[in-house]
């Protein structure tokens, strides 16, 4: 599956390795032409920085999309991350109906919370809007908090494998064929993801490191998306993403330079064919 062109629709955080500043280099390193549609631009990501400056592009992006349509520009996949505005769901609809090639997958990371809480500025209306967003997806990649919100299931850190299955099934009822629950494992020695497809689950496992690292969900989604576009294999792509995130965390612990992200750049060469 070569010569692919993907559109990634998410924010640009100018400082703080996440969102487009992860997706663009990762997907490009994997040999995929990567086009961007910034939902908004932020001075930094919102995890631990103060005086974060935001500029939302919700009213401008439809003009971008119409320009692409006028120029007969189409994409082999759509991958969304942090959107932050309910208006962007209409843009996703337009892209899906007018700018994607036949059979192009829609891969959605329904970014809205972590550690049992919504991110700042989000509310129940945004959760409902995100459920609608997921109805347009072929694949979604929520973390545990986001999956619980989508499934209307109480968040706990001690959820069982049976709970995971129920949550994933409820998320799949929103519309996506595949649901990938990130940052979980069936073994406390490992981390990774739980993949739900066709009524069955599969675990992608990788070495677990202590601590919490910003941007790892974006990194998982980007590596998964790139691998999937090249292989068309869900489980292989989930395992590749779990391994890359784990290895990146290991390198970050050995070579720390900041406290706001992971040093994924050190291992980009491993993604190049």
For 34-62, how does the pLDDT look when each residue is reduced to its tens digit (9 = 90+)?
Answer: 999 999 999 988 877 889 999 999 999 99
Write down the residue that tokens 């890359």 correspond to.
244
Token duo for residue 244:
């890359």
Is the predicted pLDDT of residue 257 greater than 80, yes or no?
no
Is the whole model's pTM more than 0.75, yes or no? yes
pLDDT digits (tens, 9 = 90+) for 92-133: 999 999 999 999 999 999 999 999 999 988 999 999 999 999
What was the pLDDT predicted at 2? 57
CA angle at 66 for the pair 97 and 91, rounded to the nearest 5°: 50
**Assigned token pair, 130:** 């995100």
Q: How confident is the model at residue 150 (pLDDT cuts 50, 70, 90)?
A: very high
What domains are defined for the chain? 5-268 (3.40.1190.20)
Query: Looking at the predicted structure, is the pLDDT value of residue 270 above 80?
Result: yes
Q: Rounded to the nearest 5 degrees, what angle is found at the Cα of 181, between the Cα atoms of 84 and 185?
A: 140
Q: For the residues 263-270, what does the mean pLDDT come to?
A: 95
Confidence of residue 1 (pLDDT cuts 50, 70, 90): very low
Q: How many CB atoms are closer than 10 A to CB 242?
A: 26
The SS3 of residue 8 is: strand
Q: What is the DSSP string of 16-83?
A: SS-THHHHHHHHHHTT-EEEEEEEEEESS-SSS-SS--EEE-TTTHHHHHHHHHHTT--BSEEEE---
Strands (E) located in 43-198: 54-56, 77-80, 106-108, 113-114, 117-118, 139-140, 178-182, 190-197
Cα separation, 262 vs 38, in Å, equals: 21
């Amino acid at each position: 599956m070569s010569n692919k062109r993907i559109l990634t629709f998410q924010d640009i955080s100018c400082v703080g390795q996440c969102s487009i500043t992860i997706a663009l280099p990762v997907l490009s390193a994997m040999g995929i032409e990567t086009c961007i549609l910034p939902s908004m631009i932020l001075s930094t990501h919102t995890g631990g920085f103060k005086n974060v400056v935001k500029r939302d592009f919700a009213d401008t992006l439809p003009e971008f999309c119409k320009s692409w349509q006028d120029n007969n520009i189409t994409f082999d996949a759509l991958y969304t991350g942090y959107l932050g505005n309910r208006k962007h769901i209409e843009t996703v609809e337009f892209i899906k109906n007018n700018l994607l090639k036949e059979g192009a997958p829609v891969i959605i990371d329904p970014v809205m919370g972590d550690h049992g809480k919504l991110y700042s500025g989000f509310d129940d209306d945004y959760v409902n809007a995100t459920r609608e967003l997921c109805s347009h997806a072929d694949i979604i990649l929520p973390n545990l908090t986001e999956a619980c919100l989508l499934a209307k299931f109480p968040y706990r850190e001690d959820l069982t494998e049976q709970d995971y299955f129920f949550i994933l099934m409820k998320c799949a009822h929103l519309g996506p064929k595949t649901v990938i629950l990130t940052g979980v494992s069936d073994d406390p020695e490992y981390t990774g993801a739980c993949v739900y497809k066709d009524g069955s689950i599969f675990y992608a496992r990788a070495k677990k490191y202590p601590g919490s690292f910003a941007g790892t969900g974006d990194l998982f989604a980007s590596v998964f998306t790139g691998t999937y576009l090249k292989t068309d294999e869900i489980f292989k792509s989930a395992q590749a993403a779990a391994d890359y995130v784990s290895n990146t965390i290991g390198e970050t612990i050995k070579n720390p330079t900041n406290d706001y992200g992971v040093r994924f750049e050190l291992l980009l060469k491993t993604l190049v064919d």
